[in-house]
């Protein structure tokens, strides 16, 4: 291995450590607790080293969001692939999405609530975000109906899931009714 390759590997390792530490700290104490100073202390590097990877907290949030999008896409695809028909696939997708949001609140916030400097629904949208949307579209496109654009249907279904996740987490909806809400959402929106 060349010196350059070793340096690149070490840099990538440091970057992963910064993102993992930020994510851990945010999940434990919230995003307000994530500061470059605290991160530098936890990973035992100086703040200038942190700034050599990320210009600030906003970029760290963006990196966590991209990692979360990749994880969510993988979870949604795995759940959908285990289902045997379109309706079951959509139900599995909805439950998996809501479970992901519940298990990873700080990551979910990084993805959809906080400013991570990421563009959504544009040409320059990062690939992990496009892939997360594609993971939803793969299952939802089949149940959109003949007269509805699959992408538009996916946006509306995703918005409904996001609303359920956000309102449940905020205590505005009782969590014990989540399965009933998913069933209602699938029954009313999905045509399969």
- Cα separation of 116 and 56, whole Å? 10
Res 71: pLDDT = 98
Res 128: pLDDT = 97
- Separation in Å, CA 166 to CA 12, 80, 109: 33, 22, 9
Res 185: pLDDT = 95
Res 162: pLDDT = 98
Burial pattern 76-95, b for ≥16 Cβ within 10 A else e, equals: bbebbeeeeebbbbbbbbbb
Res 63: pLDDT = 98
- Cβ–Cβ < 8 Å for 127, 73: no
Helix axes 105-112, 3-29, angle to 10 degrees: 110
Name the stretches of the chain with pLDDT < 70. 192
Res 191: pLDDT = 78
Q: Name the residue among 141, 16, 120, 142 with its Cα closest to residue 69.
A: 120
């Amino acid at each position: 291995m060349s010196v350059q390759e070793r340096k690149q590997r070490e840099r990538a390792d440091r970057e992963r450590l910064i993102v993992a530490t930020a994510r851990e700290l945010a999940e434990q104490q919230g995003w307000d607790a994530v500061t470059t100073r605290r991160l530098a202390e936890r990973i035992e590097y100086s703040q200038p080293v942190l700034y050599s990877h990320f210009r600030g907290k906003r970029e760290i949030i963006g990196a966590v969001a991209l990692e979360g999008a990749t994880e969510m896409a993988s979870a949604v695809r795995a759940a959908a692939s285990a289902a045997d028909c379109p309706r079951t696939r959509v139900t599995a997708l909805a439950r998996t999405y809501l479970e992901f949001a519940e298990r990873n609140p700080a990551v979910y916030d990084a993805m959809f609530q906080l400013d991570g400097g990421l563009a959504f629904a544009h040409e320059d949208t990062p690939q992990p975000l496009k892939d997360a949307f594609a993971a939803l579209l793969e299952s939802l496109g089949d149940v959109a109906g003949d007269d509805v654009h699959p992408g538009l249907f996916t946006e509306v279904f995703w918005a409904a899931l996001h609303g359920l996740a956000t309102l449940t987490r905020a205590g505005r909806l009782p969590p014990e009714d989540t399965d009933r809400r998913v069933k209602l959402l699938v029954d009313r929106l999905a045509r399969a």
